[in-house]
Amino acid sequence: MARSSGHVSYVASTVPIAIVMTVLCLLLANNVSHARRPATYYVGGKFGWDTIIPMDSWARGKTFYAGDILVFKYDDDVSRVVVVNRTGYETCIPNAGSKEYESGNDRIQLPYGYSYYIGTYNEYDCAAGEKMAIKALAPK
């Protein structure tokens, strides 16, 4: 009877592993190269950050991701953008620790989860719709 030495089976079994590893590397490289880049949104569209349209209706139907950028354009003599907590958003009264932007051309990058924005400290503008809540999903 003839005996086999087993050396041939070692070489034959390493070839499929090398092919599988090559295919996996190509798939991973393809996924990384197609990662989503942060999107930039101009809040309020052509009207900007204003009471002309309710800001929550502007945001409705859009999908935001952490890292996306919101651009707030407004008349800095009349308004501001204030990032508040949920209570500040619901009451139209900025909370302690809220962050105010006042350049008239503010760029704010979204964190993961909920972010709340209201207009100037004028509660009437806020009640008129110059406020919005954004939920940013985990980046893709």
Rounded CA-CA distance 35/111 in Å is 18
Note the pLDDT tens digit of each residue in 51-106.
Answer: 888 888 899 999 999 999 999 999 999 889 999 999 999 999 999 999 999 999 99
More confident residue, 9 or 76: 76
> Is residue 23's pLDDT more than 60?
no
The tally of domains found in the chain comes to 1
- Domain assignment present for residue 19? The answer is no
What range defines the domain where residue 56 resides? 40-137
- Domain assignment present for residue 95? The answer is yes
The single residue listed with the structure tokens 């087993």 is 6
- Domain assignment present for residue 121? The answer is yes
- Domain assignment present for residue 32? The answer is no
Note the pLDDT tens digit of each residue in 93-130.
Answer: 999 999 999 999 999 999 999 999 988 777 788 888 88
- Quick one: tokens of 6? 């087993």
Query: Which amino acid belongs to residue 85?
Result: N
Rounded CA-CA distance 126/108 in Å is 19
- Domain assignment present for residue 62? The answer is yes
Rounded CA-CA distance 118/70 in Å is 13
- Domain assignment present for residue 21? The answer is no
- Domain assignment present for residue 15? The answer is no
- Domain assignment present for residue 5? The answer is no
Pairing mode of beta strands 69-73, 105-109:
antiparallel
* Confidence (pLDDT) at 1: 54
Q: Going by C-beta distance under 8 Å and a sequence separation of 6 or more, which residues neighbour residue 136?
A: 64, 65, 66, 67, 68, 110, 111, 112, 113, 114, 115
Q: What is the mean pLDDT of residues 11-15?
A: 53
Q: What is the CATH number of the domain that holds 120?
A: 2.60.40.420
